[in-house]
Chain A
Amino acid sequence: MKHSKRISTSLIAGAGVLGMVALSACAADTKKAGGSDEVTITVPSWVGARANAEVAKVILEDELGVKKVNLKTMDEPIAWDALNSGKADVIMEDWNGQPDKQKLYIDEKKSVVKGGDLGVVGHIGWFVPKYYADKHPEILDYKNLNKFAKDFKTSESGDKGEFIGAAPSYTTYDKYLIKNHNLDFKIKETGNEAAQIKEIQSKYDAKTPFITYWWEPLWANVDMDLVEVKLPEYTEGCNEPKTDTKCGYDNNKLQKYLNADFAKDGGDAAEFIKNFKWSNEQQNKVAQAIAKDKKTGEAAAKEWVKNNKDVWEKWLPKK
């Protein structure tokens, strides 16, 4: 192996020299030049958020003459990083799940700015199917949950009831709620939104009892009748620190966020995004066209835009 030793030494030396060359090269560009003729909107995994983005894209391209609107699928924390670095310009629907990034990018670095309310109100809660609640109306109060825990037992939960938990990216205090109210339930982690929806749908079709973390607006709710279990009223600051949480969930006014440079130099496009505001029903309409009627995002958005001129005209910048 004497020969090979020489080769490997040479190889290492070569790699070292290459590295030095790369290091001594000139400084790299840190930012991409962006203008208002190209807008990038981040799209998270759920359909409601896609409905926002598709409608914004159609109006930006057809009415405001923006040359290209890119829709980029990415998870929320990554979308915040993209807004910070200027790789993306807009988050259309934020569920307030990234407080640390908000502080870092909005307050400290000032690379991201607020874009106002989206108008859609997000609601989170604990839900059971109506067919079960009709038989056992008492379950709709959290104080009675333990009485019914045995109905929800599965192979996953052992001797406790199974509570179907939220997907990882969702805001949840279920763990602490169950502990602090001494509920006989064990959370089953779902790991992914599509997986959770599929599981609920199949359990609903089979008329199995289940209790789940669920939310609104959601396209899948049209086909399923789920009833909310009452949790203690939300009051300001009742979920801080989270480990002491005993209260239910706050209604969440979903927010828009913009890259700071885009907000400043984006012209009409940025102005339009700031004005974009619609209701749960309006968003659901487009989301259902995509999810239930299996239309493409573009077709669904175009149809809505055609029929709702009076709504979106108010979003256009004043001339």
Chain B
Amino acid sequence: MSSAPAPALEDKAPPAQLAPAGAAKEPGFLARLAGHPKAALLTVAVLVAVVSALVTSSGTWPGGWTFGIRSPLSDAESWLANNRESHPIFLYFLLHISNAAESSVDTLVTFLETLGVFGVTVAAVLIAWVAGGADLSRRALRTAGTALGAFVVIGLLGMWEPAMETLGLMVVCVAAAAIVGALLGLWAGLSDRGQRILRPVFDTMQVLPAFSYLLPFVLIFGVDVPSAFVATVIYAAPPMARLTALGLRGADKTALEASTSLGANSWQQLWTARLPLARRQMLLGLNQTIMMCLSMVVLASVVGVSGLGAEIYTALSTVDTGLALSPGIAIVLIAIWLDRTTAAAGERLDDPCQGKGGPKTWFVWLGVIALTTAGTVLGSILGKQEWPDTWVIAIAAPVNAVVDWVETTVGSGVPVVGGTITLASGFATYVINPVRDGLEATPWWALLLVAGVLAYLAGRWRAAVTTVLALGVIGGMGLWTRSLDTLSVVLAALALTLLLGFAIGTFAARVGWVERAIRPVLDTLQTMPQFVYMIPAIALFHGGRTAGVVAAVLYALPAVIRITTQGINQIDPSALEASRSLGSTTGQQLRQVQLPLARSSLLLAVNQGVVLVLSMVVITGMIGAGALGVDVVTGLAKDDLALGLTSGIAIVCLGILLDRISQPGADVKGDTSR
């Protein structure tokens, strides 16, 4: 294994080797390096790593340098179990949260059931219509049509009842997450200290897998709705907070100045200038929060929440893809309905023609309530409170037939390349294995050195120290080898995601119809619970790490594509026009104008790629990619809080590491401006 690290680090080596070869008349290699201290530093660090890996060929963290948190965690767990019904902190605080969440969800689900099929559909369509502008414009009608279509299909799939249960929980979670997110966002947006404190907190909230803290939550808040509620709020609040802060910070200075000069005090300024100016960003945050709530609500089925998630969970116990697809589609449809509705509301805010008609708005909402009531009454007169069973279309059998056909033909029946199974094992052997072996053969101190140097180059001392600390925590928890195993899978998935994402994103930005064509595909990939399509995919890849990489790429790709497309589209058209008039080719325009100007968006895409790929580590663990992901699941399944939580923290540390070495702008720029 001693020769293994070479291919892993090959991509960094060539520039250094090429330099002397093609530079006969230029100054010597060393002299050139001296001219670029950054490159020199990196070369030295990489050389040290490669040489030490070749010499020692095994680089595990020293066993004596670990700290045990197993026993304190186990103690905490039994304390929780014993004191849950008597300790004041439960009686006077935590249990109130549980009971409030549970009773509000119960009330809402009962309310939705009372409204019945007609009432709910009428209400959903009207809300969408009002969000679209409450008139006969194309936008309003299109949004309303989407809502109608979504609810009819949900009914046709026979998913009405579970969909209402999920919707009930969703609404409560979204409301709470939006309020919590907005408050945290206010703090982060108005105070620099708040921003500094909250940023790592938000990162952790999003990357720490829910599976690793569900166990204590079940003990603290109780099974079913309460723990699902708290876990969902934790997972879904950060985007709302982040975008609120962004909106508050990005407010037009002149508008604020004007408001100050008119004598507004800070509260008035907040209410009349800052918040209204941040409205659009906050709505985008709400939109993201809704999507994240939806994906979490599905996961919550493991703690006993009924609804669409439980339907999927049950269908998968018989490995029945067709049966799992119906609730999966229902989830996608709910997502599309909510996404289009909030997006329409957002577009309307941008639209200068739309005045705010005070009395008119009241009338419209009164109308919505009246019509919903009418629908409900009509439904109960017709005796159709529930979706009639005869109107259900069973899609399970035909879907399973198609899936079977794909599994057998694509899996091994393709001529020449031999099918996906061969490809998968090739990918694991020639891409993931060398990376893993390389990482594992490098001594731990050399890895710390390389990571530290990379982070220093990207974000100076603060980033370097954070990175080294993150790796130190991983080593200290005794998860060094497991984490490197995970890191190799994550790196492979990340590289693929960024490669594909930038390529497709750029293509979509340049060709308008591509963007429109792939939009529904991206929506589906982002909201369809991964298990629905990953279990059949196991037949295509025979489980294993390649299947995990595929799952992670599919999940992370949509966000990367979207951000890339948006970033390129937002470039000042005059810059592009200027380059075009200077006669640059399409390729030159792309390389020299569009991509450099979209740099900040591309960096954001990298950041989101890291976050999303890492959030899939658990799912990839569950379909055979092993390592930290499986440990998190095992922690939950075997009631081993110490195992689940430490593995979850290790995943967060990997996230910090990747983020710090890939995000140059933020810290470096911050340093110079301060």
Contacts and interface: CB of A to CB of B under 8 A. Distances in A.
A30 B91 contact: yes
A274 interface: no
B543 to A, nearest CB: 4
A203 B546 CA distance: 16
B603 interface: no
B53 interface: no
A73 B633 CA distance: 16
B542 A8 contact: no
A2 B266 CA distance: 9
Contacts of A11: 183, 186-187
Is the contact region of chain A dominated by helix, strand, or loop, or is it mixed? helix
Interface stretch (A84-92, A113-121, A240-248): A84-92
Nearest to A30: B85
Interface string B407-435: 11001100000000100111011000100
Which of B191, B629, B633, B639 has most A Cβ within 10 Å?
Answer: B639
A191 B638 contact: no
A199 B58 CA distance: 32
A8 B187 contact: yes
A144 interface: no
Given A3-B266, A7-B190, A73-B301, A104 B81 contact: yes
A270 interface: no
Contact of A109 (B81, B90, B92, B411): B81
A30 B93 CA distance: 12
Contacts of B48: none
B318 A290 contact: yes
Which of B98, B215, B224 has most A Cβ within 10 Å?
Answer: B224
A27 interface: yes
Nearest to A19: B93
Given A168-B637, A192-B633, A73 B313 contact: yes
Contacts of B65: none
B633 A85 contact: no
Nearest to A171: B638
B304 A77 contact: no
A1 B191 contact: yes
Interface in B504-530: none
Contacts of A195: 534-535, 538, 543, 622-624
Which of A7, A46, A75 has most B Cβ within 10 Å?
Answer: A75
B223 A75 contact: no
B336 interface: no
A76 interface: yes
B103 to A, nearest CB: 10
A115 to B, nearest CB: 19
A35 B625 CA distance: 45
Nearest to B639: A77
Given A25-B92, A72-B306, A191-B629, A6 B301 contact: no
A101 interface: yes
A74 B538 contact: no
Contact of B624 (A27, A43, A191): A191
A221 interface: no
Given A8-B194, A81-B218, A202-B542, A73 B314 contact: yes
Given A77-B639, A195-B535, A7 B622 contact: no
B56 interface: no
A188 B485 CA distance: 13
Contact of B621 (A85, A100, A191, A198): A191
B634 interface: yes
Nearest to A100: B639
Interface in B297-354: 301-304, 306, 310, 313-314, 316-320, 323
A163 interface: no
A124 interface: no
B626 interface: yes
B636 interface: yes
Contacts of B639: 77, 80, 98, 100-101
Contacts of B191: 1, 4-5, 8
A168 B638 contact: yes
Interface string A149-168: 00000111010000000011
B317 A155 contact: no
Contacts of B110: none
B630 interface: yes
B425 A75 contact: no
A78 B223 contact: yes
Is the contact region of chain B dominated by helix, strand, or loop, or is it mixed? helix
Which of A198, A201, A220, A291 has most B Cβ within 10 Å?
Answer: A198
B7 interface: no
Contact of B626 (A7, A46, A189, A196): A189
Interface string A20-44: 0011110111110000000000110
Interface string A97-116: 11011001100110000000
B318 A75 contact: no
Given A22-B96, A75-B636, A87 B223 contact: yes
Contacts of B215: 77-78
B664 interface: no
Contacts of A279: none
A73 B622 CA distance: 18
B377 interface: no
Contacts of B421: 206
Contacts of A1: 190-192
Given A4-B191, A188-B543, A28 B621 contact: no
Given A77-B639, A195-B538, A6 B90 contact: no
Contacts of A84: 81
Interface of A: 1-8, 10-12, 15, 22-25, 27-31, 42-43, 45-47, 50, 72-78, 80-82, 84-85, 87-88, 97-98, 100-101, 104-105, 108-109, 154-156, 158, 167-169, 188-199, 201-203, 205-206, 219-220, 290-291, 294, 297
30 contacts: A3-B265, A5-B191, A7-B186, A7-B266, A8-B191, A12-B187, A28-B96, A28-B98, A29-B99, A30-B91, A31-B85, A72-B306, A73-B304, A75-B637, A77-B215, A81-B218, A81-B223, A85-B222, A88-B304, A155-B425, A155-B433, A188-B624, A189-B630, A195-B538, A195-B624, A196-B543, A198-B543, A201-B319, A202-B539, A294-B396
Interface of B: 78, 81-82, 84-85, 90-93, 95-96, 98-99, 183, 186-187, 190-192, 194, 214-215, 218-219, 222-224, 260, 265-267, 269-270, 301-304, 306, 310, 313-314, 316-320, 323, 396-397, 407-408, 411-412, 421, 424-426, 428-429, 433, 531, 534-536, 538-539, 542-546, 621-627, 629-630, 633-634, 636-639
The 10 nearest A-B residue pairs measured at CB: A3-B266, A169-B637, A28-B95, A4-B190, A77-B639, A191-B622, A155-B428, A168-B634, A155-B425, A74-B304
Given A193-B317, A199-B543, 6 more contacts: A7-B270, A22-B92, A22-B96, A30-B90, A81-B218, A82-B304
